Amino acid sequence: MPNDSHQRAAEFHQLAAHAHRVAAAHHGKEDHQTGREHSEQALECAYQALQWSQESYRKSMKLAGKAPDVHAPDKPSPLQTGRSE
């Protein structure tokens, strides 16, 4: 169901936001190593949120009987490839 995908996307958006706040707090305390780890976690959560949002979109379009008008290529997370974007 699209609602399940929407829910998962929302959860990952919340996780990413939390990780960003924690990273900012660590950077503010000049604990840059821990801040970087939380920044990477935030990036991964944001990527997962994107994936779930795209899945929800595809399911919604399918239920509506429409072809998706945007074809986002599936690509690995920047953390999986070892490079930042």
Nearest to 72 by CA among 61, 84, 83: 61
> pTM of whole model > 0.85?
no
Could you report the per-residue pLDDT of 21-36, keeping only the tens digit for each? 888 888 888 887 888 8
Burial letters 38-70, b for 16+ CB under 10 A, else e: bbebbbbbbbbbbbbbbbbbbbbeeeeeeeeee
- pLDDT, mean of residues 3-12: 86
Q: Is the pLDDT of residue 3 over 80?
A: no
- Compute the chain's Rg from CA coordinates: 16
* CA distances, 33 to each of 9, 14, 30 (Å): 28, 22, 9
- Which residue did the predictor score with more confidence, 27 or 47? 47
**CA dihedral (75, 77, 82, 85) positive or negative:** positive
